[in-house]
Amino acid sequence: MAAAYEGWAKLELFGHRVIAGYLREVEQYGEKFCQIVTPDLPAVPADPANYQHALPAMPQHLQTYGGKAIYCMTPCSEEVARRIAERIRHEAIPPADTRPLQIEAASAANEYDDDGENSDGWPISTATVDDQDDDDQEVAAEMGIDPKEIEGTPV
């Protein structure tokens, strides 16, 4: 079996994602994965004449994909991969918050203050549920017919 490619490439994934960077094969959890490191990208100043807004600098980041998520891998030079990465500007997903969850007692989470917010500061929903009991009458009135003619008609 031939060794897996390691080097600069354009990686196309299902879901229409394209990423460019340095890739290599890794094994995790007993499976083969493709690990790609995108290059550092400099900030791009605004260019109003060309309708280009300013773009922030983006540090390199690493992502790992299962082999079945890849539908095309195109080896290329570092220069080409960097140009593709600058055009795409694939944004890193921030790492998950790994702090332990602070779970309050359900009764405390449902207590509301006088200011229209619950104890966590979230606004109290004022949405009402329309049980649609009167919809038939409203529709009948708009159509100028007897509500009993449409009552019980499947929607």
Q: What is the pLDDT of residues 9-63, one digit of tens each?
A: 999 998 788 999 999 999 988 899 999 999 999 998 888 888 888 888 888 889 9
Q: How confident is the model at residue 70 (pLDDT cuts 50, 70, 90)?
A: very high
**Domain boundaries in the chain?**
7-45+52-88, 106-147
Q: What is the pLDDT of residues 108-150, one digit of tens each?
A: 445 545 555 555 555 555 544 444 555 666 666 766 777 666 5
Determine the pLDDT at residue 80.
95
Q: In the predicted model, is pLDDT for residue 7 greater than 90?
A: yes
Q: How confident is the model at residue 105 (pLDDT cuts 50, 70, 90)?
A: very low
The neighbour count for residue 85, using CB atoms within 10 Å, is: 22
**What per-residue confidence (pLDDT) applies to 36?**
93
Instruction: Tell which residue, 2, 7, 76, 75, has the closest CA to residue 35.
Output: 7
